[in-house]
Amino acid sequence: MKTSRLRIGSRGSDLALWQARWVESEIRRVTPGCDVTIDVIRTKGDRVLDSPLSKIGDRGLFTREIEEALLGERIDCAVHSLKDLPTDLPPGLCLGATCRRENVSDVFIPHPDNPHRRLLDQKQGAEVATGSLRRRSQILARRPDMRIIDIRGNLNTRMNKLRESDWAGMILAYAGVSRLGWEESIGEIIPVDVILPAVGQGAIALEIRSGDTRAASIVRALDDPSTASAVEAERALLRTLEGGCQVPLGAFARIEKQGEEEVLLIDAMVASLDGRLVVRGRTHGVPSGAREAGVALAQTLLAGGADRILREIRELG
């Protein structure tokens, strides 16, 4: 006899379905007998592939249609890559769980014929593909000679485009590459002091309806408190800066043991589009004060020049 039911909503890419099936498997493991189904939903970000993300808007680009299905009670739980989820959720929705985070780093995927495996070892004027302004600005801050190629599409599409190109390589998130079993294609796991990740990168978010105690009780078992605190700090920073995933902003929060105490550390940066101006900062706090730490670091960045960078970027938009 089935004890409960959970209808999951997911995008249809291989990576999104991997994440949804992982959630399905974990729920079945922790809630034996739960009837779990997956409903594939196409989002605007899946349909519009011929324009850069920065040109078509990014708020809810990969989440809105799934959230509409959630509000309409077509599904009970939306599975997202947390980095795609806007910091302000629609009324009536909330985060039910933040799953344990994968390695947050970006990776350099060299062209199969490229003998240079590391990003910063590429030849003068090398072409590197990415769809992210965050990555673009940080690459150019280190290597202003490089030519950045804009790329869209799911991971399979991007890998095919790389093989058919004469680019030196491209940048992807380690989490997606690893989850699809493509680790052998990685030339370098890029250190976070070279490229800071996107807010929430590597984490899977489970979004539910506010007040849905049945769904909340099912997904709660998948919540990882350390990951939840870290991404709460990052999302508070992003919300304070009023940026989206297409603002050159990177952040990495984590909880570390210092003696007998747990300390929340946060690094963040905001950069100009050409990488010539980079404002970086770091702060620390306690895990229970994650939101306050994120806000404080955002204010430090703004005071250090990030306000001018963000204003200029918005004016260009």
Tokens representing residue 213 in the block: 């105690």
Asked if 246 and 207 sit in the same domain, the reply is no
CA 73 to each of CA 27, 80, 94, 294: distance values in angstroms, whole numbers, following the listed order: 19, 17, 14, 33
The whole-number average pLDDT for the span 132-161 is 95
Q: In the structure encoding, which two tokens stand for residue 206, read together?
A: 């489970």
pLDDT per position as a tens digit, 24-37: 999 999 999 999 99
Q: Is residue 195 included in any domain, yes or no?
A: no
Pair (218, 94) in one structural domain: yes
pLDDT score recorded for residue 48: 53
The pTM is what? 0.91
Model pLDDT for residues 239-259, shown as the tens digit of each residue:
999 755 468 999 999 999 988
Rounded Cα–Cα distance for residues 178 and 110 (Å) = 16
pLDDT of residue 10: 96
The total number of structural domains that make up the chain: 3
Contact 153/161 with Cβ under 8 angstroms? yes
139, 253: one domain:
no
Q: Domain of 70: which CATH number?
A: 3.40.190.10
d(CA 113, CA 75): 45
Catalytic residues: 84
Band of the pLDDT at 314, cuts 50, 70, 90?
confident
- The mean pLDDT value of the chain amounts to 92
User: Based on the domain organization, do 40 and 121 belong to the same domain?
Assistant: no
* Same domain, yes or no: 238 and 311: yes
Domain extent for 28: 4-99+203-223
